[in-house]
Amino acid sequence: MVCVNTLLGLSGPTASAMVLLTCVPVGQMAFVVSEQYDRGGADRTAAGTGTAGCTTGAGCVAGVMQLGLLLMLPHVVGAMAVMRAVGLYGS
């Protein structure tokens, strides 16, 4: 993304935001995935092919997304610290 920012002439907070956006997963896909897993989710779990402890596919996806968001925070903070430490895009 740093190369793309350079090619587009982006700098400052806009460029920093673009770099951070490429570091995080796309949350909108969670809705698509949860709809796909919700179809027959209870049947798969009852048959022993689903995820243990999840009663529906949508519930499993929601739990995984929540865990992912908690784990994403240190990643974003680290990316911001690295950009600041190397002086990328100013303050």
Asked whether the beta carbons of 11 and 4 are under 8 A apart, the reply is: no
Q: What pLDDT is attached to residue 68?
A: 77
Distance between CA atoms of residues 53 and 11, nearest Å:
47
pLDDT digits (tens, 9 = 90+) for 22-74: 877 665 566 666 666 655 445 444 444 445 556 666 677 777 777 877 888 88
Range with the poorest average pLDDT among 5-14, 23-32, 72-81: 23-32
- pTM value is 0.54
Domain-by-domain residue ranges, the chain? 2-85
Look at residue 85 in the predicted model and tell me its pLDDT.
Answer: 92
DSSP, collapsed to helix, strand or coil, labels residue 6 as helix
* Cα distance between residue 12 and residue 28, in whole Å: 27
Q: What is the pLDDT of residue 45?
A: 47
